[in-house]
Structure 1
Amino acid sequence: MARLTLNKINVIRDINEDEQSIKTIDKFIFYILLVAIAIIPLLIGAHTALFVSPDISGSGVSGTAYQTDIFTYFKFVALVILTIATIILFLYKLLFLNYKFKKDKVIYAIYAFIFFLLVSVIFSEYKTIAIWGMHNRHDGAITYICFAMLMLIALNIKYPKNALKIVTYALYPFIWINIIIALMTFYGKNIMLNETIHKILTIFDKSGVTFDERSILTGTLNQWNYMSGMSSIMVMIFLTLAIFQDSMRLRIINLLTALAAFATLLVSMSSSGFLSVAVMTLLMLVALFLKGNKKRGLLLFMSFLLIASLQIGILSTKNPKVWNESLGMFVKTNPFTKIEGALELFDNKTYAADKKLELPVLPERGYAAGSGRIYIWSTMLELISERPLYGYGMDTILFHFPQNNLEKRAELWDEKGLVDKPHNMYLGILWGTGILGFLAFIIMLIIFTLPILKTIYKKSSKTNSYFVALSMGFGAFLIQAIFNDSVIGLTTAPLLIVTILYTVNKNEELVGEKT
């Protein structure tokens, strides 16, 4: 029998050429991350498809039926495509350019999070939902795995000197596009009834979907709560930039941008964003006193407060709820509410009819604390205690929550309303992946956050204004996440931004540059 012997072939590589190729690949990856940060939050469009649900009734958003989504499908598609493109480029760098994967403790936390995401799918009763998410949210395991993969790769590239500045530039379109949409909706102009807008939104949908007066565009995110949360992030980023930057022109541009984001926050009429801004403003002022130009910074901050107060007054005259969801958290008396109208509302309740029908078993309608959030959270924690290790699978709350519980009438006003989300990003992760996945996620956030805080509040060093601003924006994201869910349009940019901040900070690049 003949024996064929193959000798090992050693290929001599040009190290300098490989390094140059790695720089090129890193540049392309950085551009993809920028596209994800800038474009994903903006993508909207109608998409109709058959949604196969555990609920076969075919009624409502939960049933098996053809369902139309406007806000998340194309965001999800873009996220998956950009993730795949990034993985291909990174694998080329890893396999063919002799790149060595960096070792970092945060990477192990991300690995653990991916592992427990997969485990939660295996043990989930509703595996399809756990993988893909609901048709109107796409908040399943694939979305979080995409986040994790982009973050892993973002930890392993070298960024250009002006990376942080470019990242902030990528955020301007979201603010100025959404302020136009939000204000038009707030003042009663339903742009979804516009023929051109209808054609744009349905360009890829062949189902013949139409919009009526009930169809309202809140912005490019799913609903007002998310718009409020995202706007708080933008307020903090551009207000901090305006206060910390040296250039007068940039200070004015960023102040106007912060005010535009604040106006969007106000007309969103959700207190989560306002509370996030209030808390993060205090932390930003501490950083100002440690490192910034105090006199100039305080003057600009007072200018922001003055104009922001005028915005609250003007918008509250149109809808008093603007006051209730902002300053109303601290000042109970709403000067823009008409007493007569309030009395009419109280007199117009339907409880008298309930008494006529003699149905005393029905609890009085009302809301639990936090617009019903406390009731949802407490009920979810009870359910989580039954499956603490592996969770129920991401985005499966709708099919496990006790929807027929009559107590919802007293806690959520309407017993017929469906609870399909936790209104808390952290609780959503705990629900989906169990305690172990939740701990991996929290540890990841802590590892990212602690060195960034140390850099910002370290007296002895001067910190890049873009670094401080993006850090304050991420802080606002963490706070608003206590009251809002994680959705693709809201979560993608902050997670990528904090990964870039952490990598830049760890490599001691760009952080101390004067801007």
Structure 2
Amino acid sequence: MTNSRNNSNEKSFNFFLPIAFILSIVPIIVRVAAVKLDENAIKIWGVTVKADLFSQRKALLLMIFSVILIITCVIFFKKIFSRKDKLVNYILIACGVFILFTFLSAIFSKYRQVSFWGIFDRAEGFITIACYIILFLYSLYTFKTTNNYKYIITPLLILVFINSFLGLFQYIGQDLIKTSLGASIAGASSNSGIDLLNEKGTIYGTLASYNYMGSFVAIALPILFCYTIFEDDVMYKILSFIGTLLSFWLLFGSTARSGIVGVLGALIFGIIIFYKPLIKRWKGLLIGVVALIILIIGANFASKGSLFKRIPSLASDAFSIFKDTSDFDYTNYTPVKDIKYMDSTTEVVLPNDTLKITYESGNPVFKDSNGEVVPYALNGKVLSTDSEAFKNITFAFGKLDKKSVISDSLLLNINNQPTFLFKLNESKVFHLIDISTKNSFDLQTPETFGFKGKEKLGSSRGYIWSRSLPLIKNTMILGTGPDTFVFDFPQGDLIGKYYAYDTPNIVVDKAHNLYLQIAINYGVIALVGFIAMLLIYIIDSIKLYALKNTFEDKNQMLGAITCLGIIGYLFAGIFNDSVVGVAPIFWIIFGVGIAINFMNRENLRKKSNK
């Protein structure tokens, strides 16, 4: 394959080099930061300070690098920026729409502090979004030669190797980040308040969650796999092959179905683009694919099936989409159907009865739906009953805090799990309060759209999406502000949460969908701008590379495989939102993809003019 240098034999400083450094460093930063919550966040979590291990320092470093890039662009403006064609200009206009309406959404947001600086465990406010766009534009204009692609491949390999190393220990339940050495490196301590929720047997590396590992692999795996096939340099070919194997390890070891969907999406487009060249290399490809399948199956067998453990659920979810669940009522499948207040009585509506609670003579009194007393007696520190209808429900009755003069709180436990907390109000009624914040609130029955009976689809993403889609009608022009999803989601929908997550005491803080996230937080117009950028690029890529008999030079091959990485991320984005550990990788590679497409169009124009 011809190694085209494409007009760049200059020996001056390579302005694309800083991108390689950013790409290698930002995603692997793991450093604890204490984040002071604003008044809106305090109402959600009930504390004033939260610890953040995976987002804040990544975002801070990204800001520092972005300032350096801006200064570099100002000093070397003429050397960096050059004219592009109309197609690139259309993408830049769409990008302008995206960032403008994201900025306006932040400016006019009710949650301005979070909108600009981000929430504690995400750090993806407008400032971070602006940094993404800086990376995107800088990459687009400084990638000017095929040689620069090694500054993409090498960082991707570094990220894969580091995350695979950490992932091995996470997979076997010996997470290095949780060790005393790992904690000291990350600046954490035993009382830092960080709870790493990832379970044994799932890989999250330095990306906070196995879901985000899926988004990363959806970018890296298609690029490394195709690079292994088409690269002629033996060293890079070997390293890319190793990186491909490790990417498969990260894919299945993370158990992220979003990553599998992303890779499958890239595979479909890869077949369209590379069909004819692959046919010519079918023997080598077949040997490689068979060897890969044998290795993966062997690894799955050695791990007693844990690598493939979530694939059946992916298939099950896919089939369940087509089931008719229009008459499904999820409240029939929760231990509590509703909580109501009738005069001085609190009614806990159960599937087969209703437990009525009143406050009499300094103690709670319990009755069934017929008004008969349910005999609750003190058993240790809890109130329990032998009544068959209510034996799974116990209570803890006492003072809510040190300020309480009398016993004023009632904690309802279901199967010994703390579930609902009540406090006596001024009317001597046990009213529902938030377990974390201790603030009084009423149950919500939010508007929903779609996914009825499919709330548990995609690890309960169906629940989130059904409650999120109606929010879009309020964000057609401007969104609620970057990173503010947690404030507008109906957190008071406790019964819905109970069905979806088997507990009502959970905070839903993200949309688990890149496009919903943008539509709600940045506004539908910003989403249109984002999608327009991508459609222009992908359609252009298909025109340039699809179903070619062969690729004439390296630029064409690199353009094609870069497009597959972008497509993988976008498919994974159906199930994952943007996050500061992965999004910079996407925006950099997106800018590179546009730059390579421009170079290839210029080459075609020159050939057609000869």
TM-score by length of 2: 0.69
The 1:427/1:241 distance shift into structure 2, 3 A limit, reads same
The 1:23/1:123 distance shift into structure 2, 3 A limit, reads farther
What's the CA shift for 1:350? 8.0
CA contact (8 A) 1:116 1:436 kept: yes
1:300 pairs with 285, 288, 312, which one?
Answer: 288
One-letter amino acid matched to 1:77: L
What's the CA shift for 1:408? 1.9
1:404 pairs with 486, 492, 504, which one?
Answer: 492
What's the CA shift for 1:263? 1.2
Distance 2:56 2:100 in 1: 25
Distance 1:276 1:199 in 2: 35
Distance 2:153 2:602 in 1: 14
Residue deviations 1:469-514 (CA, integer Å, cap 9, x gap): 33222211111011001001111112111211211220229999xx
The 1:276/1:55 distance shift into structure 2, 3 A limit, reads closer
Distance 2:28 2:277 in 1: 34
CA contact (8 A) 1:183 1:264 kept: no
CA contact (8 A) 2:17 2:151 kept: no
Distance 1:56 1:137 in 2: 16
One-letter amino acid matched to 2:50: Q
SS in 2 for 1:159: coil
What's the CA shift for 1:45? 0.8
Q: 2:473 aligns to what?
A: 385
The alignment status of 1:449 with 2:538, answered yes or no, reads yes
The alignment status of 1:264 with 2:250, answered yes or no, reads yes
Distance 2:583 2:570 in 1: 10
What's the CA shift for 1:366? 9.6
SS in 1 for 2:49: strand
Pairwise CA RMSD: 3.4
SS in 1 for 2:50: strand
CA contact (8 A) 2:102 2:523 kept: no
What's the CA shift for 1:49? 3.2
1:60-139 matches, within 5 Å, as 62-94=45-77, 102=84, 104-139=89-124
One-letter amino acid matched to 1:434: G
1:232 pairs with 218, 224, 242, which one?
Answer: 218
Structure 2 residues not aligned, in runs of 5+: 1-6, 318-333, 337-349, 353-388, 394-413, 415-419, 421-442, 446-452, 605-610
Distance 1:184 1:119 in 2: 44
Distance 1:301 1:246 in 2: 19
Distance 2:575 2:603 in 1: 31
The alignment status of 1:357 with 2:394, answered yes or no, reads no
Q: 1:42 aligns to what?
A: 28
The alignment status of 1:376 with 2:464, answered yes or no, reads yes
What's the CA shift for 1:423? 0.3
What's the CA shift for 1:467? 3.5
SS in 2 for 1:155: helix
CA contact (8 A) 2:274 2:547 kept: no
The alignment status of 1:161 with 2:149, answered yes or no, reads no
Q: 2:427 aligns to what?
A: none
CA contact (8 A) 2:270 2:564 kept: yes
1:477-492 matches, within 5 Å, as 477-492=569-584
Distance 2:21 2:238 in 1: 26
CA contact (8 A) 1:54 1:63 kept: no
One-letter amino acid matched to 1:68: A
One-letter amino acid matched to 1:180: F
Residue deviations 1:278-327 (CA, integer Å, cap 9, x gap): 2322332343432242221222122222212222333344x4xx423235
One-letter amino acid matched to 2:137: L
Distance 1:99 1:188 in 2: 49
1:51 pairs with 26, 37, 52, which one?
Answer: 37
What's the CA shift for 1:189? 0.9
The 1:392/1:114 distance shift into structure 2, 3 A limit, reads same
Distance 2:465 2:182 in 1: 38
Q: 2:520 aligns to what?
A: 431
Distance 2:274 2:186 in 1: 43
Q: 1:473 aligns to what?
A: 565
What's the CA shift for 1:226? 0.5
CA contact (8 A) 1:232 1:277 kept: yes
Distance 1:213 1:244 in 2: 40
What's the CA shift for 1:140? 1.2
The alignment status of 1:329 with 2:314, answered yes or no, reads yes
What's the CA shift for 1:380? 1.1
Distance 1:23 1:158 in 2: 15
Question: Which one has a larger percent strand, Structure 1 or Structure 2?
Answer: 2
The 1:326/1:243 distance shift into structure 2, 3 A limit, reads farther
The 1:233/1:245 distance shift into structure 2, 3 A limit, reads same
The 1:247/1:288 distance shift into structure 2, 3 A limit, reads farther
Q: 1:10 aligns to what?
A: none
1:205-220 matches, within 5 Å, as 209=192, 218-220=204-206
Q: Which has the larger radius of gyration?
A: 2
CA contact (8 A) 1:224 1:269 kept: yes
| Mean CA deviation greater in 477-486 or 267-276 | 267-276
Distance 2:82 2:228 in 1: 39
1:140 pairs with 116, 125, 145, which one?
Answer: 125
Q: 1:187 aligns to what?
A: 172
Residue deviations 1:112-145 (CA, integer Å, cap 9, x gap): 1111011111221111111111111011111111
Q: 2:367 aligns to what?
A: none
The 1:23/1:74 distance shift into structure 2, 3 A limit, reads farther
What's the CA shift for 1:378? 2.0
The 1:118/1:248 distance shift into structure 2, 3 A limit, reads closer
CA contact (8 A) 2:101 2:526 kept: yes
Distance 2:121 2:196 in 1: 20
Residue deviations 1:78-122 (CA, integer Å, cap 9, x gap): 11111111111111223x779666562111111111110111112
What's the CA shift for 1:407? 1.8
CA contact (8 A) 1:47 1:70 kept: yes
What's the CA shift for 1:276? 1.9
Distance 1:73 1:126 in 2: 18
Residue deviations 1:310-368 (CA, integer Å, cap 9, x gap): 22333344x4xx42323553489xxxxxxxxxxxxxxxx989x98732889999x9952
Residue deviations 1:412-466 (CA, integer Å, cap 9, x gap): 3322111100001111011112111110111111122222222221515515344
One-letter amino acid matched to 2:463: Y
TM-score by length of 1: 0.81
Distance 2:482 2:312 in 1: 35
